[in-house]
Copies of this chain bind each other. A is one copy, B any other.
Amino acid sequence: MGQTEPAEALRQTAHDRVYRELRARLIGGRMAPGRSVTLRGLAAELGVSPMPVREAVGRLVAERALEMKANRRVSVPEMTPRDIAELVFAREALEPEAARRALAGIDRKAVARLRRTDDELEQHLQLGNVEGYVAANHAFHFTIYRACGSAVLVPLIESLWLRIGPFMRVVYGRIGTNWVVDHHEAAIRAIEGGDAEALALAIRDDIREGMGLMTGGSLQADAPETGQGEAALTRGGL
């Protein structure tokens, strides 16, 4: 489950493994906003000493994927609807352009992979497999973005997903009734047709639709402190 490679074969350190594990949980929406984590707790859970966890958590705090409160305690950030809207604005500002620049780098094999991923996505959607859906959606987008070969845009976009991740689960719960246009399908067609502008628009619309599903409903709309408005959807996490 993707992250952009900062180097090649240095992923065998304990702290990096912890970092990637937590990252995957956040992007996959497996950690509910507001949930607090502890160094020793994660260490025991992941079978390592608190030391690598300290480093991994520190990195995620720097990326604002985790939040350090005044008491020095670490938790998954809660975001106001406004925060989410700004995150989505940033995504709209960056991702369509990344897709546009990626177009030339997407070969036939990548297109086939996109089709396969999108099929999996639909299956997960019908089977009610939230984890699978989120993972497939992430894979779909970043299969495109990574083709632009940018060491700047892709990590930047990933940092946005990292922060939206915990709220992505909400989208799933509302996607059944609001499904109108399949922007993924439109994106694939644009890629096959070599139409960069159509691809950028498809990505933009896909983001906007997700945004609409997120902010359209309650989503702790008037109780930003509790962050438990979507408790039924976010499940226990951990």
Chain A residues within 8 Å of B, Cβ to Cβ: 6-10, 13, 15, 19, 54-55, 58-64, 67-70, 72, 83, 86-87, 89-90, 93-94, 97, 150-153, 155-156, 159-160, 163
User: Given the complex, which residues of B lie within 8 Å of A160, measured CB to CB?
Assistant: 156
Query: In the docked arrangement, what's the CA distance between A144 and B137, Å?
Result: 36
* Copies of this polypeptide in the complex: 2
Query: In the docked arrangement, what's the CA distance between A10 and B72, Å?
Result: 7
A150-B68 in contact given A58-B58, A94-B93 (Cβ < 8 Å): no
Query: In the docked arrangement, what's the CA distance between A96 and B59, Å?
Result: 28
Nearest chain B CB to A71's CB is how many angstroms away? 9
User: Given the complex, which residues of B lie within 8 Å of A64, measured CB to CB?
Assistant: 6, 155
**Nearest neighbor of A7 in chain B, beta-carbon distance:** B70
Say yes or no: A87 contacts B152, CB within 8 Å. Answer: yes
Chain A interface, >50% SS class: helix
Say yes or no: A7 contacts B69, CB within 8 Å. Answer: yes
**Nearest neighbor of A54 in chain B, beta-carbon distance:** B55
**Chain B CB within 10 Å, residue with most, of A67, A68, A89, A155:** A89
Say yes or no: A150 contacts B86, CB within 8 Å. Answer: yes
Query: In the docked arrangement, what's the CA distance between A61 and B10, Å?
Result: 14
Say yes or no: B83 contacts A152, CB within 8 Å. Answer: yes
Query: In the docked arrangement, what's the CA distance between A19 and B68, Å?
Result: 15
Say yes or no: A86 contacts B152, CB within 8 Å. Answer: yes
Query: In the docked arrangement, what's the CA distance between A119 and B153, Å?
Result: 34
**Chain B CB within 10 Å, residue with most, of A67, A70, A90:** A90
User: Given the complex, which residues of B lie within 8 Å of A10, measured CB to CB?
Assistant: 68, 70, 72
**Nearest neighbor of A10 in chain B, beta-carbon distance:** B70
Q: Tell which of B93, B159, B163 touches A97, judged by Cβ atoms closer than 8 Å.
A: B93
